[in-house]
Structure formats: C-alpha cells, structure tokens
Amino acid sequence: MTDQTAPSTLTDGFHLVIEALKLNNISTMFGVVGIPITDLARLSQAEGMRFISFRHEQPAGYAAAITGYLTKTPGVCLTTSAPGFLNGLVAAANANTNGFPMILISGSSNRAIVDLQQGDYEELDQMNAAKPFVKAAYRIDRPEDIGTGVARAIRTAVSGRPGVVYLDLPAAVLSATVDVQVGQASLVKVVDAAAPQRPTDEAIERAVSLLAAAKRPLILLGKGAAYAQADTAIRDLVEKTGIPFLPMSMAKGLLPDGHPLSAASARSLALAQADVVLLVGARLNWMLAHGKAPQWSPTVKFIQIEANPSEFDSNRPISAPVPGDIGEAVKALNAAVASKGVKADPAWLGQLNAKREQNVAKMTARLEKVTDPMNFFTALNVIKGVLEGRDYYLVNEGANTLDVTRNVIDMKLPRRRLDPGSWGTMGVGLGYAIGAAVTTGKPIVAIEGDSAFGFSGMEMETICRYKLPVVVIVFNNGGIYRGDDVNRGDGTDPGVTRLDASAHYEKIIEAFGGAGYDAQKPADLKQALETALASGKPAMINCVIDPHVGTESGHLSKLNPQSAVKAGTATSTTKAAK
C-alpha cells in the first residue's frame, strides 16, 4: 500500500532565530556579515527586520548597546565567528560595565573540532571566552532550543541590573532543520521580563529618616536613573523636598541643567559639604572618587537605590540601602517624604547658589572670549548657540572635547546625552550616533575629539549608506590631548600624541556622498552647523582649533602616571650606563 501522507514541512535554525526575536518585538539588528551568519542577516531583512550593516563589529556593538539604553529592550549585535566575535566582545564588555541591556549573537565553528582543538576555521571556544565580560553566556546546541535561548537572553539582559548576554550559535545549529510545527512550538514569548521590584517599607523608612535629619542633603543622579525612565517621579522628589541634585554626565537632562536646584556648577562644594547623599542609579566608583575624602566629607552618610544588592558597601558604608527598582523606590520615597514634610535647609541652598553663580560667571567669561585660532570654549560657544531650542541627541567623546562639552552644552531632556560612561571608552561615538539615529529618528550631533573619531571613522560610510541624520563635528587640534607634543628621542618620528593638524576630516564624508565643511573661524562653524542641521542629511565638520590647547588626559590627569624622567628627577638605565 502506498503511503499517501504528505512530507512534513521543515524549518531551520536561521528562521527560528529571526522568528524568536520578532516574537519578542526585536525588530533591528546591528552587525557585520560573514561566515557563518551572512544568511541570518539576509533573512532578517526578508522577514521584515532592519539590519544595519557596519564596517567593524565594535561600533556595531556600541550601536546595539545604546539602543538597549534608550529603549530598555536589548539591542542585538550579530557577528561572525572568532575575530568578529572578539571585536564585538569589546563593545559587549563596555555595555555590561555600564549596565546597558544587549545581546551579542555570534556564529561559531564546529563544536567537535573546536573542543578537541583540531584546527577548525576560526576555531575558538567563544562561550567560555565571553563569560568573564558579560552577565551571562549561553550556547545553543539544537535548533529546537533557539526559542528558549533567545528568551533566556532577553530576560537575563533586562532583569535586575541590566547587562549583556552572549548567545553562541554554531554553524551546524543554524543550518539544521526541524519540523516546522516543532520549531513553532519551541518559540517563547517573554512575559514581564523586568518586573519592577518594590523596596521594603523598612528600607524606605530608614532612608527618609536620614533625609529628614540632614542639614546638607544631596540627590545624586546616575545614568541608571536616566535608564529607569522614572523621570516624573524623580523630578517630583527633587522639587517637593527642595533637595539640590547633582547629575552624572548621562543623567544630564533628567531635570533641565538650568534648574534652580541643580548643583552641577557647584559640584566640588556639593560633594565636599553634603552630609546625607541619596544615590539614584549611581555607584561610588572612580567617577565619584569612591565616596572618599578629600572629595567627600569623611562623615557623609549614603542612601543608595540599587537593583543589585551586592553593590552596597562596595567603597563606603551605605547607611540606608534601598534594594529594588528605581521607579518603584522613588515613588515610595515621594509618598514618605510628603508625609514627613522633608525639606532642604535654605542656608544649604544659599551656599550652593552662591558658588554656582560664581562659577557660572567664570564660565560665561571663558565662553565670550573669542580666540583665533578657536579654542574649545570658543568653538563650543558657537555650537551651543546653534543647538539652543533644537530637538536633538548629543553624542560626545574625547578627552578635553568630552570634558569641556559636558560643562558647556546644557541638556534639557533626559537620555539625550550619550557619552563614554563608566569605562571612559573612546571610539563609542559613531556607533552610538548610528544606534541613536536608527532607534529615535531624531537628528544626532556627535562632537568628537580627533583621536576619538579615528577609532571608528570608517562608519561615516555607514552613516551615508543609510542616509542617517547625523552631523559629526571633529575638534581637530592635531593630537591626542593636543597637537604640540615633540619626539623626546633622536629620531624624526612625530611625538607620540601628535596627529596630523593639517588633516581635512570633512573630505572623508565627501568620499561617500555626504556634505563636508571646513570651519577655521567661528562664523564658518556657525554657518556649517546651521546648514548641516537644516539639511537633515549626513554631514561632517572639520572644526580646526588651536593645537596648543588641551590638558593631557583631560580632567583625568591624576590617573595618568608621569615618568620621573619626564619630570627631570630620574634618567633611563641606558643613558645612565653611558
């Protein structure tokens, strides 16, 4: 008797990956194609996803990371095996350090050959290589497990303290087939991936009691506060209590920088004199001098809202730990401070305001002084004027370019300033710009140091290829920090921090069909930026500034050890021997 049963319809790992992502509302991937994931990228487009194809995996990873930060949904970066994976891993480690939700998906080689180290194409045990640098790493060994693997990656990336998950996809799993009904049944729709965790009443009561007794309270907002998107609750807490707030760099705009309770222009005084500090989405890491003297009072008491309880007491004792979700914690604090009538002491506010007015006057004088050639302040004063009142995202990196821009360009809306974050990583700029442009559709202005730009400069082609509304401004002072370093030896090579001060960076974008501008004077810069923003198209400005301006390592000079030889107090062993 002839079997009349129709053959089963098959699907494969490629399709199941795309279907699992789409089922969980992930509609965009960033990456670089190649063996064995080229068809995965092609299929993503065919199935209605957007694939942004980069020139290098590292900026692709940065784009995925900033997408996660802006949306609270994991950004996805797709890479090839071994070298491609390692390139993407740098961005993944940076995102994990910053607490950005991201999934790094990489194809990998034949497991049997890799495990016996027999020399397969791009042989590398990628899952175990990733583990020290990410929140979790998983390998999917069967196509019917893809749905579970993607679901675990999503939930792990966004729950608790957000972070990065690495998903290892061997080539054999991608091409393996299963019955389509089996594959469909294996897909998982994640439900409530990051359920808010409310702190206990006892934790809230302890925190409010400290605030109520404080003479000089301070609310310190970190990028975790911006990520939480609890903007209204945070603003209510500040304004109802009248407690001054200090935003970390990526928390700028949670409340407008010009807000009367902002202590940003009196930062040093606020840190040194505060007696009780409420940390909201901020950690006492190197950027806050680990909470220790002399930057801080030795008797200051800390309240910390933190999703990861192991972070408490990491540098200073936390007098009132508040474990839980930032949004839930701030809402609970709002209710509690209202019932206890917590209000900041007017004398403390007056002290901060006096210092703020003094520092603002100094900054205004620096900005109004026009130099020729331009220095950082002259150029940024022009940019500040052009950007005033516009709806845009600011990407910013460099050493002096980062430090001065952070102090000059005010932010009025949350999550609009994107910068290197906890590691101070250079090279994030163009990846962040592309990710933000794709995710938001808004104009992006990337203010880049010439050295920082060089880490990912070829992504200008990506910006042009996708016709993104990105304006890149390169502050060209011809060097890392500045362009007047000299060779301290007998050779003719340039000094180690020298770059080409005569470079015309604007020519790079012209090669890809974008608009390039050379700005030697303030008027040139103003016209170029206004024209570029009005066009809504890719543009690049070579902003030429004085090669003699800039501080080595920017504000982090104390972290960059200086050779005693350079200081004239020691000599090399070679010279001593002579």
Task: Give the model confidence (pLDDT) of 514-565 as tens digits.
Answer: 999 999 999 999 999 999 999 999 999 999 999 999 888 777 777 778 765 5
| SS3 of residue 99 by DSSP | coil
- Helix (H) or strand (E) segment spanning residue 278: strand 276-280
Which pLDDT tens digit goes with each residue over 441-473? 999 999 999 999 999 999 999 999 999 999 999
**How wide is the angle at C-alpha 219 spanned by C-alphas 214 and 222, nearest 5°?**
150
| Percent of the chain topping pLDDT 90 | 87
Interatomic CA distance for residues 288 and 365, integer angstroms: 28
Mean pLDDT of 55-84: 98
Question: Which are the contacts of 545, defined by CB distance < 8 A and separation ≥ 6?
Answer: 373, 374, 375, 376, 378, 379, 475, 476, 477
Residue 518's DSSP bridge partners are 542
Q: What values do phi and psi take at 137, rounded to 5?
A: -135, 130
How many whole angstroms separate alpha carbon 324 and alpha carbon 478? 47
Q: Which range, of 125-129, 198-202, 431-435, 560-564, averages the lowest pLDDT?
A: 560-564
CATH entry, 369-564, from 3.40.50.970, 3.10.20.30, 3.40.50.150, 3.40.50.20: 3.40.50.970
Number of H helices, E strands in the chain: 24, 19
As its CATH architecture, domain 201-356 has 3-Layer(aba) Sandwich (3.40)
Whether CATH 3.40.50.970 fits 10-186: yes
Domain spans of the chain, in order of start: 10-186, 201-356, 369-564
Mark 138-150 as b/e (b = at least 16 C-beta within 10 Å).
Answer: bbbeebbbbbbbb
**Mean predicted confidence (pLDDT) in 406-414:** 97
> Does 260 sit behind a cis peptide bond, omega within 30 degrees of 0 on the bond before it?
no
Region 389-400: mean pLDDT is 96
Spatial distance between the Cα atoms of 348 and 191, rounded to a whole number of angstroms: 46
Cβ atoms of residues 297 and 272 within 8 Å: yes
* 292 contacts: CB under 8 Å, gap ≥ 6: 315, 316
User: What would the pLDDT profile of 327-345 be if each residue is shown by its tens digit?
Assistant: 999 999 999 998 888 899 9
Task: Say what the pLDDT of residue 339 is.
Answer: 87
What pLDDT score was predicted for residue 570?
Answer: 64
- In this predicted structure, what is the pLDDT of residue 488? 87
What are the beta bridge partners of residue 279? 220, 304
Q: Is 554 left (phi over 0), alpha (psi -120 to 50) or beta?
A: left
pLDDT higher than 70, residue 183: yes
The dihedral sign for the CA sequence 377, 380, 384, 385: positive
pLDDT band at 1 (very low <50, low <70, confident <90, very high): very low
231-244: average pLDDT: 97
Q: How confident is the model at residue 7 (pLDDT cuts 50, 70, 90)?
A: low
Examine domains 10-186 and 201-356 and report if their fold is the same.
yes
Amino acid at 323: P
Please tell me the predicted confidence (pLDDT) of residue 51: 98
pLDDT of 565 reads 55
